[in-house]
Amino acid sequence: MNCDLIASNKSNKILFIVMLFVGLSVQGQNIEVAELQITGTKRTKISFVEKLVTVRQGMLLDSVVMNKDILRLKKLPSISHAYYNVKAMPNEQCVVQYVIEENFTLIPFANLFSSSNDNFAFRVGLQEFNSFGRNITLGAFYQYDNYSSFGVGIRAPYLFTDKLGLALNYNDFTTLEPVFFEDDTANYKYSNTGFELLALYEFNLFNRMEFGFSFFTEDYTYVEGATSEGVPLNLNVDKHLFKFIYDYNGLDYYYHYLDGFRSQLNLQYVGSTNDNLPEFLIGFNDFTFFKRIGDRGNWANRLRLGLASNVDSPFAPFTVDNNLNIRGVGNTIDRGTGMIVLNTEYRHTMVEKNKFVLQGNFFVDGGTWRNPAGGFDDLWESENLRIYPGVGLRFMHKRIFNAIFRIDYGFGITKDGDNGIVFGIGQYF
């Protein structure tokens, strides 16, 4: 009888504890947000942050909503890190505090590149990523690649609402472009001048799109090299372009570390007024995957798949280039109408002192291209395959947006492989 009584008392105690826990949980779910505080901002307008976040005064406390707000804030260029605190108050109320660590956002940038067979080329510029305290990007650049080029642009993703904005760009590019035909090569002075207007729309925390158009003029002027009866020495063509971009961004950010998956689809239609540069469709998708390795490692991967109208033209749209896909390969050494490119690298933080980070990396860049008017079997031909392993360094500042100065050295191990150094601002991908 005593044993039964003891067992019954234990059961009652367990039941009481369970009921108490459930009661507290239910009670916690009914806590009301009495006030939302935004702290830590210096240049970013508090009204802009309040426009983006979901938590409002009078809402019930919800950690899922707050976590989404914090992730959205960490994706902004002006914010290096963010977190929240909750302070309990009487009468089932609380104060929610979003604590923000801002980036310095007036950033000069530079890309410098060369290989053993190429002239030195560079691009320098200046960008403000938090203009007017509302994460509006204003930027301009100057490029020298045998000839001078420049461009200016504005990007305001939240100009109209917390989801809708626009971007406007003007570019005047001039470079020395190799043109490939009949196993020969010619060099043309290439100019591209025009403007672009894009509407920007953010569906939710993970999905956004861009849609717009551009009008531009392309000019090709023969400089030196082989010639062909079917390839004109001079071309000046007015073109128009329609662009659609869909971006799924499932990445999680912790300062310079990334974790998760992202997919960026880019589709374009290019219309032309000259049959020598015919209209074409082009599309490519970047699949990126990042994985944290321990406390200091980051495994980064990018797979780019691209396909364009398979026209028989020496001016094919996809290029093999240092700054786009294969580090060390050279500046625009080949062209194609299809491509498969895989970049994989391991990034390891060697030194981390307060705001400064020194990171080393080992990478392998590989890719293959379909020749103009060729078949898909071109992608498996050894002469179209390029593999470049290499090493690099990253010098970073944790509180300055995109303040990553990179140096990479790539060495070709496939047929006729070159080697070279690529400098730049920001991670390669």
Task: Specify the DSSP class assigned to residue 228.
Answer: B
> Within 13 Å, how many C-alpha atoms sit on residue 208's CB side?
20
Q: What is the pLDDT along the chain (429 residues), one digit of tens a residue?
A: 444 434 444 444 454 444 434 443 434 458 999 999 999 999 999 999 999 999 999 999 999 999 999 999 999 999 999 999 999 999 899 999 999 999 999 988 877 765 444 567 788 899 999 999 999 999 999 999 889 999 999 999 999 999 999 999 999 999 888 887 767 888 999 999 999 999 999 999 999 999 999 999 999 999 998 888 778 899 999 999 999 999 999 999 888 899 999 999 999 999 999 887 888 999 999 999 999 999 999 999 999 999 999 988 777 889 999 888 999 998 778 889 999 999 999 999 999 988 899 999 999 999 999 999 999 999 999 999 999 999 999 999 888 877 898 999 999 999 888 898 888 888 999
Buried b (16+ CB within 10 A) or exposed e, 198-213: bebbbeeebebebebe
CB atoms within 10 A of CB 354: 8
Residues of the chain with CATH 3.10.20.310: 31-102
**Predicted pLDDT at 115:** 47
**Predicted pLDDT at 23:** 41
Q: How far apart are CA 267 and CA 163, in angstroms?
A: 22
**Predicted pLDDT at 246:** 98
Q: What is the fold of 31-102?
A: Ubiquitin-like (UB roll) (3.10.20)
> Within 13 Å, how many C-alpha atoms sit on residue 258's CB side?
18
CB atoms within 10 A of CB 31: 17
Please say whether the beta carbons of 110 and 49 come within 8 A.
no
Q: What is the fold of 106-425?
A: Porin (2.40.160)
Task: Write down the residue that tokens 């699949």 correspond to.
Answer: 287
Please say whether the beta carbons of 74 and 98 come within 8 A.
no
Residues of the chain with CATH 2.40.160.50: 106-425
Going by C-alpha positions, the residue among 229, 230, 147 that lies closest to residue 190 is 147
Maximal C-alpha separation, the chain: 109
CA–CA distance from 1 to each of 4, 5, 14, 15 (Å)? Answer: 5, 6, 20, 21
pTM recorded for the entire structure: 0.81
Span between the terminal Cα atoms of the chain, in Å: 73
Determine the length of the chain.
Answer: 429
